[in-house]
Amino acid sequence: MQLAVIGTGYVGLVAGVGFADIGNDVVCVDVDETKIARLKRGEVPIYEPGLDALIETNVKAGRLTFSTDIATAIRAAEVVIIAVGTPPAADGSADLSAVFSVAETIGKNLNGFKVVVTKSTVPVGTADRIEERIRRHTTQPFGVASNPEFLKEGAAIEDFMKPDRVVIGSNNARALEVLRNLYTPLVRKSEDIHEMDARSAELTKYAANAMLATRISFMNDLAVLSEKLGADIERVRKAVGADPRIGPKFLYPGAGFGGSCFPKDISALIQIGQGVGHELEVVRAVESVNKRQKRLLFEKLRRHLDGALEGRTVAVWGLAFKPQTDDIREAPALVMIRELLEAGAKVRAHDPEAMDNVRAVLGDRITYCENMYEALEGADALALLTEWQEYRQPDFERVKRLLRTPTLLDGRNIWDPKALRALGFWYTGIGRP
């Protein structure tokens, strides 16, 4: 099939290269000329394991091209995939101006039946509004579909090429058929493709993310309780997750969830509810618990130091919102660092991938260390915010030698409290006695 993917962000790039890899002809379009020029040179603007190699293979095979010429791409395509950004507006709702502007351009360039698909996470009802925008400019036939993307950063290629399920929603039978054919090579069995109306598909994406975020906030809330009661949330987590009705995934308490999806989608879902007069009380609590959780390690450190943070130095390991990515959007580390700076402390930070992105935001307000141990030199405490593999088993003797005071704040519960206390550290995790 001939595909045009509009928007070369995370979702657009991964979908574009994924569809090319199974034999489709794909052109990835973006308004950002520098980005397209870089992609043409083989430079991939995001860090995602396996992505650059897959792009290279498919460009070489002639199945994948990059362009800024949206009109030509649309005219040549049978399926146009909208994967542009939907950043949060000031009130928390999703800003759809980029999506609608693409819809208008599609309308102006329609030259025969096409399927127009939204992959961007958009409020329920957006497919109808896209349809209306396209129809303003054309009498040609087309079908609009919602096809939410569930990929996780760091495992994006795998998630795309071997999806648990594919959701396609449309009120147009021909569009559903085209998309079913497009996805059939990627799924194990036909039941893995869930066909429905557009509104249900749009809601499915929010429902899935809100459910996962609810599990995390629930565990984070219980972790606080656990600590106060002298219980160990790690024991509780494992035993609770052993119930097959609950399952072990997404029950890890930590420094709060970040990323480009959960925080944004949760506040958008609250807005969607309010728009039709329904207050999503559970989702509201998920959001407020997460805000509190992101400040937890800072509060623990402040309490430990009796409030005396002025002039102290704190080492931070892990800046990305999770391992295997350089993405720092809504990262708990940024919340902690800002609190520390506000309180007059100095920060020495290390992250295997995300330091450039943090530098672009915080500039020289903190010290960036190329080596994880260098970050510890003269620091009064070490706070771990992202569970990168290399932080799991550091040389703790060396850590102790380098720190001015042996204080550890484990924001992901990856270290062994007993062993560390035996080594002479003051240790605190999340929800452990």
Range in contact with ligand UDX (rule: CB under 6 A) among 91-99, 144-152, 343-351, 420-428: 144-152
Q: Which helix (H) or strand (E) holds 285?
A: helix 281-294
Site for ligand UDX in 322-361 (CB under 6 A): 322
Catalytic residue of the set 213, 261, 301, 345: 261
The residues in 252-271 that bind ligand UDX, with binding defined as CB under 6 A, are: 252, 254, 257-259, 261-262
Three-state secondary-structure class, residue 382: strand
User: Hunting for tokens 């995934």 — which residue is that?
Assistant: 249
Residue 87: which of 281, 263, 273 has the closest Cα?
263
Distance of alpha carbon 204 from alpha carbon 210, whole angstroms: 10
Least CB distance from residue 166 to ligand UDX, whole Å? 13
Axis crossing angle, helix 296-304 with helix 281-294, rounded to the nearest 10: 40
CA distance 384 to 315: 8
**Edge-to-edge strand order for the sheet containing 313-317?**
367-368, 346-350, 313-317, 381-384, 407-410, 426-428
**Smallest separation (angstroms) from ligand UDX to the CB of 407:** 23
Residue number, 241 or 394, with CB nearest to ligand UDX:
241
Q: Is 369 a catalytic residue?
A: no
Interacting residue with ligand UDX among 5, 27, 115, 151 (CB under 6 A): 151
Q: Does 49 sit near ligand UDX (CB under 6 A)?
A: no
CB of 133 to ligand UDX, least distance (A): 25
Q: How far is the CB of 216 from ligand UDX (least distance, A)?
A: 4
What's the longest Cα–Cα distance across the chain?
75
How far is 237 from 223, CA to CA, in rounded Å? 9
CA atoms of 118 and 149, how far apart (whole Å): 9
Specify the residue, 66 or 206, whose C-beta has the smaller distance to ligand UDX.
Answer: 206
Question: Dihedral (C-alpha) 275, 277, 279, 280: value to the nearest 10 degrees?
Answer: -60
Nearest CB to ligand UDX, comparing residues 233 and 309: 233
Nearer to ligand UDX, 42 or 247 (CB): 247
Nearer to ligand UDX, 18 or 254 (CB): 254
With CB under 6 A, what is the number of residues at the site for ligand UDX?
19
Rounded CA separation 163/176 (Å): 18
Which residue number, 218 or 425, has a Cβ lying nearer to ligand UDX?
218
* Least distance (Å) between residue 366 CB and ligand UDX: 20
CB of 388 to ligand UDX, least distance (A): 11
Distance (Å) of CA 77 to CA 43, 110, 208, 209, 426: 25, 10, 30, 31, 61
Q: Does 152 bind ligand UDX (CB under 6 A)?
A: yes
Q: Does 318 bind ligand UDX (CB under 6 A)?
A: no
Instruction: Just list the catalytic residues.
Output: 261
Which residues contribute to the site for ligand UDX (CB under 6 A)?
Answer: 149-153, 209, 212, 216, 250-252, 254, 257-259, 261-262, 321-322
